Amino acid sequence: MKILLIRMMGFGDVASILIPAIKINRLHYPDAQIDVLTFGAGSELITLVKDVTNILNVEKEQWPDDILGAIQSFLSIGEVVIQQDYEKIINYDTWFMPCFLSQFLLELKLPVKGNHLTLSTKEVMKQMLSQELSNDFVTSPVSYMASTFKNMSDWHHLWWKQYKGAYPQFYLNHCCSYKEKIEISIDIDYLKNEFVNHNGKKVIALSAEGRLSNKQYPHADKLKTELENAGYFVWSQFDGSSDMLATLSRLHYTNLLITVPTATQWLAKLVDCPSLIIPGPLPPEIVAGELVVDQSTQCQYCFQKDCINEIEFLCMDIEPIKIVKQVNKFFNSV
């Protein structure tokens, strides 16, 4: 059997959703060829996953910002998928274009499961050419996304207020109805431990910047200094200058990751490195770190990309000394 799994988001989604989904499908189909369709840098992480046979990587230039160019490109990607004769195609992605792709394949009678569109591809292109395709539709999953996963509709609601568990468990166990335990791990041969000669100091990784403004910790330099003054060795090379194997190896030999809610926390979980998360506006139930910085403002956990009170996300403005105290407490308890 040949299976294609689709998840085209960033490192964090590849680590927390796609890799566990690969493991689940391997359990369901022990002898299957499992291929994945992923996006950009995410493919570098998937190259380390031994259960994957082929990677169909969508490059950044294949996903242009304009909707017409993106549709034309994804129709071409669909033609490549058609030629592979997959016996099962599962789309775990929630973005518009991957859902457009799965809708296109579904209309061609391919064996597609998972997320697709509420409109036919013909209707989407008709509305686009007549300039009736609204931006609200394209950017709102509750409008454009349909699914064969029976509980996916719960994904559109404030799920963390009802569901007990982190996002990967909610998505795969609840929305997709998989019964298997979610395993966020990777089997790799680590590079040599470069932290062995630091006089026995505990090693801390610091990841203080996310893609959006609600994931920016403003006191990273001061926190690094405070941690070093407290006797820790601190590193923070998450700028893409190191390859994925080197980054995962460093995290494997790290005693604690301090991070904003971003891909780094899921990379750490892959290699069993505990995380202390500065959650900002994201509820602790979503970020699912081993440790979470205490709530700092009454308006925190709003789950917004833009600060609703126009106060520049004061929930991210945590004094470094408070974090250092929590780090000390953690190491004193283990």
Q: What is the per-residue pLDDT across 145-184, written as a single tens digit (0 to 9) for each?
A: 999 999 999 999 888 888 888 899 999 999 999 999 999 9
Query: Which domain does 35 fall in, by range?
Result: 2-175
Q: How many domains does the chain have?
A: 2
| Same structural domain, 165 and 210 | no
| Same structural domain, 236 and 288 | yes
| Same structural domain, 170 and 240 | no
314: buried, middle or exposed (CB in 10 Å: 19+, 13-18, 0-12)?
A: middle
- 21 close to 5: Cβ distance less than 8 angstroms: yes
Residue 255 has pLDDT above 80, yes or no: yes
- 141 assigned to some structural domain: yes
Q: What is the pairing mode between strands 112-117 and 145-147? A: antiparallel
- 152 close to 115: Cβ distance less than 8 angstroms: yes
> Considering 159, 175, 191, which residue would you say is the last residue of a domain?
175
| Same structural domain, 60 and 149 | yes
Cα separation, 58 vs 80, whole angstroms: 11
- 181 assigned to some structural domain: no
| pLDDT at position 215 | 77
DSSP reduced 3-state for 63: coil
- 245 assigned to some structural domain: yes
| pLDDT at position 317 | 84
- 163 assigned to some structural domain: yes
Cα separation, 87 vs 232, whole angstroms: 52
CATH of the domain at 129: 3.40.50.2000
- 198 assigned to some structural domain: no
**Non-local CB neighbours of 151 within 8 Å, separated by 6+ positions:** 174, 175, 176, 177
- 187 assigned to some structural domain: no
Cα separation, 113 vs 247, whole angstroms: 34
- 180 assigned to some structural domain: no
Residue 333's pLDDT band, with cuts at 50, 70 and 90, is confident
| Same structural domain, 29 and 165 | yes
| Same structural domain, 162 and 13 | yes
For residue 103, which amino acid is it? Q
Cα separation, 98 vs 70, whole angstroms: 10
pTM of the model: 0.92
- 192 assigned to some structural domain: no
